[in-house]
Amino acid sequence: MIKTAVRLDKIRRLNETSIEILKIIIEKIGAGTGRVDYGEIAEQLKLGRSSVKYAIDQMIRYGTIQIVDRELCVRDSIIWFEE
């Protein structure tokens, strides 16, 4: 498990679409690592696949998520739960 802090200002840069994509990724892989289908996410959110890829690439640059062994990993410091 990767335990590094993510700067809050990086998370604040995410737009609503990126946050929705992040929620789907967290729902699919949780605190572990896993593969996600960009096309499936795009279909679910009624977006283009390239828009999903761009948002994920942005989140990787910001440090919100990262690639570990060719799979996505959500930083455990940003996983939240909705009531």
Q: What pLDDT does 73 receive?
A: 86
- Return the SS3 of 66: strand
Q: Please, which pLDDT band fits residue 83 given cuts at 50, 70 and 90? A: very low
- What class does CATH assign to 8-78? mainly alpha
Rounded-to-integer distance, Cα 14 and Cα 43, Å: 20
Identify which of 71, 79, 66, 67 has the alpha carbon closest to the alpha carbon of residue 31: 79
Domains of the chain by residue range: 8-78
Q: Is 51 exposed, middle or buried (0-12, 13-18, 19+ CB in 10 A)?
A: middle
> E strand or H helix at 14, and its extent?
none
Write the pLDDT tens digit of every residue in 21-78.
988 998 888 777 899 999 999 999 999 999 999 999 999 988 888 888 888 888 765 6
pTM summary value: 0.76
